[in-house]
Structure 1
């Protein structure tokens, strides 16, 4: 089956439960960053997802980048749909 892991195929055939949360980190680099805040409050998570979706999609001619951006936006839309 075209290189997709088995868990991917199984996930497509049933509903998968996920946790949704936002985290705020600060630091000079990604590696040195420390967490400042964490929230699983559905209102905060939905608001953050909505704000990210308000930004225009990243434009690229690289098919991999296009695919990643489309997946990111679909995931954000799911967050909004689940909160509706």
Structure 2
């Protein structure tokens, strides 16, 4: 009985984690439209503004990190399944 509750909690927590990664992926997809709207205007004194290329590079780096985290989480998911979701 106690193990079943732990297993259910582990599945719920993993599902929440995967859902959060999906939300971040969706947010990264939304940034494309925002990056395309960036105009090259001089910033005020003491301010710098990232260029479209810099923003795209930052987005790409974030996406790569998210994909690496996804791969690691899939490995963990397989481990949970192989143990019948026991902690």
- Name the TM tier (shorter chain): 0.3 to 0.5
The structure whose Rg is larger is 2
Q: Calculate the TM-score normalised by the size of structure 2.
A: 0.35
Q: Which has the higher contact order (CA 8 A, sep 6+)?
A: 2
